[in-house]
Every structure is written in structure tokens, then in C-alpha cells.
């Protein structure tokens, strides 16, 4: 059974709403035979990444960069997972107070280095998430899980 690993840092109610939407999309009843594993960025390990078939990342934009928690995750898993996870699909969402440019650049840079392939457009937003932002996160979760479901059949 394919596994989707959701690695997230959710320090605020806004980030929590986005995370819940991603999980809801990934676990919608239409998605069958895909295991969804959720890990906080500070507790995710290389073994989680190696055991997964695709990845969904969530981070706030902090001081013009991805969160320290997601950076720590990448620091821990980069070299142990570098050769083993090339080509695997991923997606991500970023929430910021007023700008997400640096965080997006950072996530894109690290995932490019890992050789992961973006399977859906990134969901980015600033301020309080709108209904459209929540729906976009739901779609992101559903898209990644559906891709793994199709690959697993």
C-alpha cells in the first residue's frame, strides 16, 4: 500500500486549519489503499521519509524563510534520503503573514536538491486563510493521495 507522508509545522490556528484541510483531502473516502502518515516536522525522521512513496510539506513563512522546524527536518533527512527518494512526488503549502517568497524559494531549493518531483502546484497564502485557500489545501491533499493511489494500482 503506498504511503503519503505529511510533514508539517503548525504553530498557529491558521496553519492548523490548512493542515486539517490537507489531511481531509488526503483521507477523503474516494482515496482508497493509500496510507496517510502525519508527522510534526520536529519529530519526522529519515525512516519516515524512506518508508513513504510521496510527501506533502506544510510550513509557515518565518522571517522570510521556511520554519526552523521544517529546516530541521530537511537537515536530518537530506543525506540519508538523497539517493533513495529521487523522483518521488511531493507537494507543499506555505502560509505567511505578508510574504512567502523566501519560504517558497527555500522549499523548492531543497526538494530540487533531493530530486523530488512536484506533483501539484504549491498552495501559498498570506493573512487569514480564505475559503478558497482551505479548498486549495484540500485539493492538494487529495491530489497527492490520488497520485499515489493510481501508482499503487
CA distance 12 to 30: 29
**Residue-wise pLDDT tens for the chain (153 aa)?**
999 999 999 999 999 999 999 999 999 999 999 999 999 999 999 999 999 999 999 999 998 899 999 999 999 999 999 999 999 999 999 999 999 999 999 999 999 999 999 999 999 999 999 999 999 999 999 999 999 999 876
Q: pTM for the full model?
A: 0.97
Please return the burial class of 102, using the count of CB atoms within 10 Å of its CB with bins 0-12, 13-18 and 19+: middle
CA atoms within 13 A on the CB side of 118: 14
**Alpha carbon 143 to its chain's center:** 12
Amino acid at each position: 500500500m503506498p504511503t503519503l507522508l505529511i510533514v508539517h509545522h503548525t504553530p498557529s490556528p491558521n496553519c492548523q486549519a490548512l493542515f486539517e484541510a490537507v489531511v481531509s483531502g488526503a483521507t477523503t473516502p474516494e482515496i482508497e489503499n493509500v496510507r496517510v502518515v502525519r508527522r510534526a516536522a520536529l519529530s519526522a525522521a529519515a525512516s519516515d521519509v524512506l518508508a513513504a512513496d510521496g510527501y506533502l510539506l506544510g510550513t509557515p513563512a518565518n522571517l522570510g524563510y521556511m520554519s526552523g522546524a521544517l529546516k530541521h527536518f530537511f537537515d536530518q533527512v537530506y543525506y540519508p534520503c538523497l539517493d533513495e527518494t529521487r523522483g518521488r512526488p511531493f507537494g507543499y503549502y506555505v502560509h505567511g503573514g505578508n510574504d512567502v517568497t523566501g519560504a517558497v524559494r527555500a522549499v523548492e531549493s531543497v526538494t530540487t536538491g533531493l530530486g523530488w518531483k512536484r506533483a501539484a502546484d504549491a498552495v501559498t497564502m498570506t493573512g487569514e486563510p480564505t475559503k478558497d485557500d482551505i479548498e486549495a489545501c484540500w485539493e492538494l491533499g487529495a491530489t497527492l493521495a490520488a497520485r499515489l493511489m493510481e501508482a499503487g494500482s
